[in-house]
A and B are shown apart, each in its own frame.
Chain A
Amino acid sequence: MTNLNLKLFFIFLFANIWIWKILHFNFFIFTAVLAATFFIYKSVKEKKINKIFIISMLILIAFQFATTKTIPLVQLGDQEKLYQIQRLKEYPPVYIKIFNKNLWIPTANWFENKPWLLSIYRIKNNVSDALSLNLYFFSNHPNERVGFKEFEKFPYILLPFFVIGFLNFDYKKEKKIFFLSFAIPIFLIGLIGQSNPIGPFVLFPFIFLSILSGVKYVYEKIKVSKVLNERIVVGLFIVCYLLVFVQTIIYATL
């Protein structure tokens, strides 16, 4: 984790569609994403949280909030209101008998009509796509959403590296980085929703960092392997990466 190669950093940073979509959408967000990504990498490398990383993450959080079309957590749409009315009628009467007296429990009201519970349902729905691996690596296939223009944020060949990087992350030592780059953004998305033309870009630095550390981990394993030839494996990987990258670009432009 500490000897991440700067070359790898820049190659993978620009060899994905997401970063170019962000640039196309807004130059300032692009700059903030680059800064946050570089300084998260630096913070992990130096095992010390960098101030610019904190500032750039806060700016990214603000940008995410500003560019997302938010829906109030307890406001129901017309269809949802109809559902609510229907569902309130579906509950059976629930009561407990205490000393020959019935203590009625308003379960329908509790489950269907409490604003705090409605907001929890909404937060759950908001968070769901942000925690979908398919959103980042398969343009959300097979869970495509109505009204969203999905695109492949990273080539799917990077998925195993992301998983390895995510699992290797030192959550105890780097918990501040984890909270700032993953937990807080997820919480924010839960509150404001997903309706953003370039997706949850506030998570870009963390996802990118995980991919990069996964690549580094696998590369080091190959280097010390007695069975695998480093040059052949790297060459094969580059060929596969290019093929998949071209494939994702074609799908994105169709």
Chain B
Amino acid sequence: MQHFKIKRNWVSVLILTLLGVIGFIIFFVKLESVPKGFYVDEALHGYNAYSILQTGKDEYGKFLPIVFRMYGSYNAPLYIYLTTLPIKIWGLNPYAVRIVASLSGFLSIFVFYFFLKNLKISLVGSLFFAVTPWLVFQSRVGYEVSLAFFLFCAGSLFLWLSLKKSIYLIPSAVFLSFSLYAAYTERFIIPPLILFFFVIFRKKILKKENYKNIIISFAILFLTQIPNLMIVFTPAFFPKSDLMSSSAILSQAEKINIFPKLVAFVLSFLREFLSQYVNYFSPRSLFLSNDLDMPEMTPFYVWMVVPYLIGVVYLWKKRKEDYSKFILLVLLLSPIPAALTKDPLSTHRAMPVVFPISLIIAFGINEVMVFLNKFKPKLLVKSLFVILFLFISLSFFWRSYFVLFINEKARDFSFGFEELSQLIRKDSETHYIVEDQRIKIPYIELAFFMKIDPLIYQKNIDQTIKYNYYSNTKFDPYHQFENVETRGIIWEKDIYKNQILVGDELSISSKQAKEHFLTKVFEIDDPIHRPIFIGYKTNPGLKCASTPNKSVYCNK
């Protein structure tokens, strides 16, 4: 027994060390440049964090908001507040904005490790969890989901541990409560999780000796949720309601009009919701279909479908055990918010699903390890299994993420804004119009990379927004700072001024350029040489001279 313990400890230390090394490489290496480009949500989080750091106010001039107003929607605040620290240390750059997300992903793997350790199953599962494409992908992007995921995992771990020692309810309450400030998905998961946890495990948890810890944890939950409660009746609290698949449900209900309206609605809602919900457990979506933004990569590795099926069957067989009940509870609750939306598989919103699915896979891997014990020498056979599958997984991850993704998806990740900002900065005497009909929310990317002083930026924003901040959802895409404007091109007017018009290959066609005497002054391409931004210099003199019916702007 003693020998077994020493051996197990040795293996635990080895796996913990490997986790640290693999985790460090996969979550932090080339973080500043991979993903190539800087996604618009990252820029929104980054610039708002910068603005808070410099002025205590967000881009709209609101002092320490409870949620952040972002292009007509609202985002959870915790990520932005935490990002102020790395920006203070490293300055305003992609690395500083992404580090909180990658650190959260990195810490999640240790939470997972301790969960497996507590369940007394093979810790090898944590190594594979650390390289899970879905987790790594979301953890290397500078927005909130990875942070919320870490808090959710940590809160769930402590909630599980509280069945043995109720004192763990307190850290669980802290983590779970803060996860509600990290991402909106958790708002739909945490309340039913806590409720059903107390219902299912009532005999174990609702004991007299636990009352003190239960009361303290609920007090923590209540006190830390006061800011959220303050805005609960404003549009800012449920900003993503437009993402719900209500139009699809109504159109499906119309097709079955032989039923009374209510019955038709209920039936089509059930079908729509269940189809989305089931999609989050389907082997196709999780292991076989390229639903992640990474080319040729599935949310979990293809080979994991086998341990997943083994794990599901195992947990079902042990369904009367507490751990099975707990994992099944988390599993069944975690896709609900994402399933209510119309996107087929939203890896962003359904991030909490990664946790229970990975636990199931870990149980499956554990069963495989038990099976491999039949072959001798055991340690060598099991090590070979782990090395082989880690190698295969990492090779395909490298191919998809570090080769194909950075080249093929750079455009989707708003690649080119850094270079464009430098061009605009250098040419400070020229006025620039950056077209915003086809280019996704360019103002925030430019503000980020041009490091616009938040005080100056806030002055150019509608000053009334901050007074009805949580209910004013109208978004005005027009922005102007320094020598840049972001808006649609007004052809009747803009070509009669000396300036540079920036768009993509479709927003300013070569025919339009020729017709209006525009001269191409620069082109910024993505890594596979597709144009992203094309800059055209206007020529008002030539345009006016060549037009028989002169525009009124020719005389101005």
Contact = CB atoms under 8 A, between A and B. Distances in A.
Interface of A: 86-87, 89-92, 107, 111, 121, 124-125, 127-129, 131-135, 137-138, 141-143, 156, 159, 167-168, 171, 243-244, 246-247, 250-251, 254
Given A91-B403, A128-B288, A142 B276 contact: yes
A133 B279 CA distance: 7
B284 A159 contact: no
Contacts of B344: 142-143
A253 to B, nearest CB: 10
Given A132-B283, A137-B278, A111 B271 contact: no
Interface in B287-311: 288-289, 296, 302, 305
Query: 3 nearest interchain CB pairs?
Result: A128-B288, A132-B284, A138-B275
Contacts of A86: 528
A87 B282 CA distance: 30
Given A133-B281, A159-B278, A243 B313 contact: no
A137 B267 CA distance: 14
B298 to A, nearest CB: 8
A134 B305 contact: no
B521 interface: no
Nearest to B317: A167
A200 to B, nearest CB: 12
- Interface bracket on B: 35 or more
B52 to A, nearest CB: 38
A251 B404 CA distance: 40
Contacts of B313: 167, 171
Interface stretch (B196-204, B255-263, B379-387, B448-456): B255-263
Contacts of B252: 251
The B contact surface, by secondary structure, is: helix
Contacts of A134: 275, 278-279, 282, 284
A156 B275 contact: yes
Contacts of A156: 270-271, 274-275
A138 B279 CA distance: 10
B367 to A, nearest CB: 11
A90 B528 contact: yes
B306 to A, nearest CB: 11
Nearest to A108: B403
Nearest to B343: A142
Contact of A254 (B255, B278, B288): B255
Contacts of A246: 256, 258-259
B424 interface: no
Nearest to B407: A90
Given A128-B288, A135-B284, 6 more contacts: A90-B403, A90-B408, A131-B283, A143-B279, A143-B285, A251-B252
B284 A243 contact: no
Given A243-B259, A250-B255, A141 B275 contact: yes
A138 B404 contact: no
A42 to B, nearest CB: 24
B462 to A, nearest CB: 38
B238 interface: no
B267 A121 contact: no
A167 B309 CA distance: 9
Contacts of A125: 288
A249 B297 CA distance: 36
B33 to A, nearest CB: 13
B267 A244 contact: yes
A247 B312 contact: no
A111 B282 contact: no
Given A92-B403, A131-B284, A167-B313, A250 B275 contact: no
B24 interface: no
A99 B268 CA distance: 68
A106 B283 CA distance: 32
A90 B279 CA distance: 33
Contacts of B211: none
Nearest to B319: A167
Given A142-B275, A247-B256, A131 B267 contact: no
B399 interface: yes
A138 B289 contact: no
- Residue of A89, A127, A159, A171 with highest tally of chain B CB at under 10 A: A127
Contacts of A92: 403
A229 to B, nearest CB: 23
Contact of A142 (B279, B283, B296, B312): B279
5 contacts: A121-B296, A128-B288, A134-B282, A138-B271, A250-B255
Contacts of B274: 138, 156, 159
B71 interface: no
Nearest to B305: A131
- Residue of B255, B267, B271 with highest tally of chain A CB at under 10 A: B271
Contacts of A254: 255
Contacts of B296: 121
Nearest to B257: A250
